[in-house]
Amino acid sequence: MNNCSQAPQSAVTRAAAAAYLDSWDEAGMDWDAWIAETERAREEFAGLIGAEAGDVALATSVSQATASVATGLDFGGGRSRVVVSGAEFPTVAHVWCAQKRFGADVSWVPVRDGAVELEDYEAAIDERTAVVSACTAYYQTGFRQDVGAIAEIAHAAGALLYVDAYQTLGSGPFHAPTSGADFVASGALKFLMGTPGIAFVWVRPGLAERLRPAITGWFGRSDPFAFDARRLDWADDARRLDTGTPPILEAYVARAAMAWLREIGLDAIGAWTAHLARRCSDGARARRLTVLGPTDPTRRGPTTAIACAESHAVEAALRRRGVLASARGPAIRLAPHFYSSEEDVDRALDALAAEMGARA
């Protein structure tokens, strides 16, 4: 039940990791095959979000992907403002704050009752705004944002929209080109069922040419194998945001996991995770637990956050009862996925209610 934090290992991902380890063991080095696999991971991520591989950059974390985008932007020309939603995972906000020394000034859109309202984006975004940073769903409450509506507000003011999709990607369909976002980043270890160490960022076609990231490396060049130390040229697509040697083992795992999710079907996964999320929040309320964030199911992502002051102690106690949940701040998060059953949800809620009742 903790896919909002780390998805479980599967036979598919274990076999993918073994394929790399076998290749390394048997061949010693098989660089071409390994790099080809990282390209397949890029293609798979692109396919998952309805995009082209050339519009996707590889990173090792969302932090790094965000920093590549942020340091590639220009905060001059009267557009120095970065509007950051209070629902961003701290790492993303930290990267924007670090741009202050390059001329950026950061303003915040508040979280109210576990959600961020469109009128607050309207108030914060103006013609001084270079970029707006808004996640698809808030890691703390499970609140799902309306990316399209935020994009309209940002674009009307001439600003770009950066979206961190980590808390939802893999839990249902997401089509980057029609989402309104200009950048979409995600790591692999949550609903994408992969491991830490790899992340991806999609760049709207035509935008990459404007970026000159200060975080760079040989894989960001037009020909990484030119070995010309003095020449800082830029790959002509999103690959210019690539940096050093790619995360190969992680790419094996991520590609296999994403191919598997696509084979199952993101529409079917989305319908099931929405059904289970609803069962989670309805079931929590029926057990007199407090669900954080909006009650409207259309404003909720796949994760249900339940208020719990001693969340880490309760997480450990649930683990002893055979339920893997995720403590975050003053909440226990339940994040079932396509493989979860209604019985899993009910069992987790029963265990949580019993554990919290015992502590009341």
Would you tell me which residues interact with ligand PLP (CB under 6 A)?
A: 61-63, 89, 91-92, 135, 139, 164, 166-167, 187, 199
The SS3 call for residue 180 is coil
Whose Cβ is closer to ligand PLP: residue 7's or residue 345's?
A: 7
Whose Cβ is closer to ligand PLP: residue 80's or residue 195's?
A: 195
The SS3 call for residue 182 is coil
CB of 166 to ligand PLP, least distance (A): 4
CB of 138 to ligand PLP, least distance (A): 8
Cβ–Cβ < 8 Å for 319, 256: no
Whose Cβ is closer to ligand PLP: residue 185's or residue 211's?
A: 185
The SS3 call for residue 137 is strand
Cβ–Cβ < 8 Å for 85, 114: no
CB of 63 to ligand PLP, least distance (A): 3
Distance CA 184, CA 241 (A): 13
Distance CA 128, CA 134 (A): 17
Whose Cβ is closer to ligand PLP: residue 96's or residue 139's?
A: 139
CB of 32 to ligand PLP, least distance (A): 28
Distance CA 106, CA 83 (A): 6
Whose Cβ is closer to ligand PLP: residue 199's or residue 254's?
A: 199
Helix (H) or strand (E) holding 135: strand 129-135
Distance CA 7, CA 295 (A): 25
CA distances from 240 to 63, 113, 209, 307 (A): 17, 40, 9, 43
Whose Cβ is closer to ligand PLP: residue 91's or residue 245's?
A: 91
CB of 226 to ligand PLP, least distance (A): 30
CB of 143 to ligand PLP, least distance (A): 12
